[in-house]
Each structure stands twice: as structure tokens, then as C-alpha cells.
Structure 1
């Protein structure tokens, strides 16, 4: 019997290498991996549903489930996770020294719906009392002019958003002081190039993020894996088979980390970092599945609802293919 051929759009993560090099096989499925930057994958999946299976922004996925379109369903596999305190950049002349100083300031974001921005706004609100309505938002291209939202949002009346001009970029505006701060998943080039005008709001972000995890138990989820509903309707077994294969591929990464005869990762003190991470977050520090991530997922849904991007308080169980929510036992 021939295998089902499915396109799979995803960036080049170590946690999928076992799938792409064939050392882990998906039962009954041939995956045609399309290696693309995440922004392109998200745009093409949200706008045109071009792929059978795709890495997808968690925030955009919540909006899609809330609206009932586009029609795809996720499995609880999280391609990207990231503590996001590091993603707040400030102009040094803006008068911002602590999170509370963001109130009343001009803050640039590439898209309001970006998952990194969702998490940062939620953290600012719940941990520091800075609400989204307290800031003036500027949206547009980070490095190239002309970026717009993937899908139109219906935000609360008190959210002040302005689209920057088509000849402007947020990177330039942060460097020049036309905006006071910038929030995004990607570091602006002015910061990467060592601009004397730009720095992180939290220079010692690892310490802040570790304290956040100790206090909340939350490891923010950025991206899920979504499957077109038409495929699941015809082949319902696809969700569970993919879930199992992704879990096996991730375990291959963990196994590689345990090798100390030679460094698997191109970082001199990687072994120390791996040991410290396990001590803080446990053996399976990048967990898949619903129950291991319930608190994190509930926080993301709450933030999306509070920020007006979704209109309903979605149930976590309704976000994922049902077959991936139960485990069989012998």
C-alpha cells in the first residue's frame, strides 16, 4: 500500500532533523519538507492554505480557530518556544528604564498579532501593570517597508494603532528615536550592529526569564503544527501518526545532547547549559502534548482574549486533534 504524500512547511529545526533525514519515519506518510522562513510559511498558510501540514504562529492559529477560518487543526507539537523578555528594545534617549516607563510611549511592532508580541504584552500587563492601551502602537516593516497584518484584526476601541508610512521601517525609527521602543521576535539590525542608541529593556534577560519560569512554570509557546482539516476528515489517523513521529524526532535531539565524547552543538559550554536547563526545567524541558503545557496554553488564550484578538475564551481541548489528547497504555 502506498504512503500518503503530504507537504510540510517548516523551518530547519534540530527537532525535525530525524524526520527530514529519514532516521525517524512517519507511519503511512511521506513528508515532503519545504524549508522556509517562518514568516513566509505563516503568510502562505494563513492567506492561502498552501500546505498540507505547516508550522504556524500560535497567535494566528488562535485567531483562526476563533473565527472558524482558515480550516486547519493543530497537534500539540511546538516547533518554537521562546522566553520573550529579551524581545523588548528601547531607544536610550526615550526615558525608559523599567517596564512601567513604557506607559504613554511609542512602541513599534511588525504585526500586532505576532505570538512574541502577544506574550510580551501579556507579561507587561500581568507582571508590571502596563496594559496594551497604555502604549501607542506603530505597525509596519521591521527592515523592509510595507509590512501589513496577515489577517485583519478587530481590536478594542482603546488600542491606539498607527500604520507607519510606506517609506519607513521600524528599525530606522527606533535608531532615530521616532519610536521609543520596539517589540518583536527578531532583533532589529540597528541593535545587532551595535548602535549606541539602542539597547534591550532587560539587559540581563536570562536572569529575568529564569525567575519568570520559576515563578510561573510557563515556557512560552510560539508555534504549533497545523494540518488542513480536509486531510484529517479523509485520513483521521494522520494526526496521531505525525504526533508520535515528532515526539520521536525530539527524543533524538535529547539523545545527542547526552553525548560528551564530542560536542553535538557548536557552543563551547553547551553541556553546562544543558545540565543547568534540566536542573531548572526538568528532563523533558521542551514538552509536547496538552497536559504538560496546559498552563502555558491557557495563558496564551487568556492574553489573546484580553487583548481583543479573539472574541471567545477558547477551550484548550478544542484547539487540538482529539486523537492526540489521549495516550494508550498496555
Structure 2
């Protein structure tokens, strides 16, 4: 039988390397991998549905499922995960010393619906008592002017949000104190370049994030893998075959990490970091599948619903292809 040829838009992660170099193959499928930055992949998939399979923002995916368009369905494979306490940057002259001080402040954000921003707003609300309505939101390009939301939003009226000027960037505004804080998945260049005006809200973010995980058991999910519904309708077996291949490809990464004769990763103390991560999070510290991620997914849905980006409290089971919901083992 001729293999199904499917385009796959995704960034260059170690956890897909075995799929892209052919070491691991999804049975019955040839993947045509298109390596692009995540922002480009998301834009093209949400606006134009250009790929058969795509890495996709979890927040954007929840909005699509809530609205019933675009029509794609995810498998419980999570390309990107990230503890996001590190993603809050403040101007040192803003008077912000702790999370509570964000109330009433001007907070820049590239797009309100970004998954990183969804998580940070949820954490600020649930862990620190700072509701999104208590901040003044400004949206726009972080490093280049002109960025707009990839999805038109209908937010609650109490959310004060407005775009910055077409010739402004959030990076410059943070540097010069025209905004008090920036919440973003990417570090602003002023911070990376050592600005004396900008710092993280949580300088010791690793300790804060480890404490968050120990308290909640949540490892925030940023990106899912979504498949066009028309593909699944014509080839319903494709979801499970793809899921199995992604699981196997991730296992190859774990196996490489466990080789200590030579470092697989370009970090001098990687072995120590791996040991510490396993001690905190277990051997499968980047889990796929629904049940191992139920609590994290339910938190994301709750935050999206509370923040007014989705209008219905989506069932976790309805987010993923049915054939990928249960794990099975060979006897």
C-alpha cells in the first residue's frame, strides 16, 4: 500500500529528530517536515491551514475547538513545555517589587492569546491574587512594530487592552519605562543585552518554578500537535500511528540522555541537571498522553475560560483524537 504523504510544520526539536531523520517512522506515513519558527507555523496554520499536521499553540487550539473552526484535532503530544515564571520582565523604575505590585500597571504583551501569556495570567491570578482585569494591557510587536493578534478575540469588558502605536515596540517601551512590565515567551533584547533598567520579576525563577511544580504537579504545556480533520476522516488510523511514532522518538531522546560516556547535550553539567530533574519530576519528565497530563490540561482550559478566550469549559477528552486517549501495552 502506498504511504500517506503528509506535510508537518514544526520547529527543530530534539524530540522529533528521530522522525525527521527516518530513524523512527509512523507506520503507513511519510512525513514532509517543514522546519519553521513557531510564530510562522502558528500563523500559517491558524490563518490558512497550510499543513496536514502542525505544531500549534495550545491557547490557539483551545480557541479553535471552542469556535469549531479551523477544523483540526490534536494528539496528546506536547512539543513545547515551559515553566513561565521567568517570562515576566519589569522596568526597575516601575515600583514593582513583587507580583502584587503589577496591579494598576501598564503591562506589554505581544498577543493576549499567546499560551505563555495565558499561563502567566493564570498563575498570577491563582497563586498571587492578581486578576487580569487589574492590569492595563498593551499589545504589539516586541522587537519589530506592527504585530497583531492571529485570532480576533472577544474579551470580557473589564479587560483594559489596547494596541501600541504602529512605530513602537514593546522592547523599547520597557527599556524607557513607557510600560512597567512585559509578559512574553521570548526574552526582550534589552534584557538580553544587559540593560540596567530591566530585570525579571522573579530573578531566582528556577527555585520559584520548582516550588510551583512541587505544589501543583503542573508542568505547563505550550504546544500540541494538531492534524487536519479531513485527514483523520479519510484515514482514521493516522492519529494513533503518529502518536506512537512521537512517543518512540521522545524515548530515543531519553535513551541518549542516559548515556554518560559522552555528553549528548552541549552543557557541561547536563548529567547533574538530568539527575535533579528526575528526582523532582520522575523518569518520564516530559510526558505525552492524556492521563499523565490531565491536571495540566484542565488548568489550561480553566485559565482560558476564566480569561474569556473560550466561551465553553471544554472537556479534556474532546480535545484529542479518540484513538490516542488510552495507552496500551503489548503482551
The whole-number CA distance in structure 1 between the counterparts of 2:327 and 2:214 is 28
Q: Does 1:14 align with 2:20?
A: no
**Contact 2:105-2:180 at 8 Å conserved across structures:** yes
Partner of 1:227: 227
Deviations 1:118-149 (A, max 9, x none): 00000000000000000000000000000000
Task: Output aligned runs, 1:117-196, within 5 Å.
Answer: 117-196=117-196
The whole-number CA distance in structure 1 between the counterparts of 2:191 and 2:2 is 51
Q: Does 1:104 align with 2:104?
A: yes
Q: CA deviation at 1:256?
A: 0.3
Q: CA deviation at 1:328?
A: 3.2
The whole-number CA distance in structure 1 between the counterparts of 2:24 and 2:70 is 30
Deviations 1:284-309 (A, max 9, x none): 00000000000000000000000000
Task: Output aligned runs, 1:1-330, within 5 Å.
Answer: 1-329=1-329, 330=331
**Contact 2:277-2:285 at 8 Å conserved across structures:** yes
Q: CA deviation at 1:176?
A: 0.3
Q: Structure 2: which 5+ runs fail to align?
A: none
The whole-number CA distance in structure 2 between the counterparts of 1:208 and 1:91 is 20
The whole-number CA distance in structure 2 between the counterparts of 1:239 and 1:171 is 41
The RMSD of aligned alpha carbons is 0.5
The 3-state SS of whatever aligns with 1:190 is helix
**Contact 2:297-2:316 at 8 Å conserved across structures:** yes
Deviations 1:263-289 (A, max 9, x none): 000000000000000000000000000
The 3-state SS of whatever aligns with 1:297 is helix
The 3-state SS of whatever aligns with 2:119 is helix
**Contact 2:80-2:223 at 8 Å conserved across structures:** yes
The 3-state SS of whatever aligns with 1:148 is coil
TM-score with structure 1 setting the length: 1.00
Q: CA deviation at 1:327?
A: 2.6
**Contact 2:289-2:327 at 8 Å conserved across structures:** no
Deviations 1:152-189 (A, max 9, x none): 00000000001000000000000000000000000000
Runs of 4+ more than 4 Å apart: none
The whole-number CA distance in structure 2 between the counterparts of 1:305 and 1:187 is 27
Q: Structure 1: which 5+ runs fail to align?
A: none
Deviations 1:5-53 (A, max 9, x none): 0000000000000001111011000000000000000000000000000
The 3-state SS of whatever aligns with 2:251 is helix
May I ask how many residue pairs the two structures share in their alignment?
Answer: 330
Q: CA deviation at 1:326?
A: 1.7
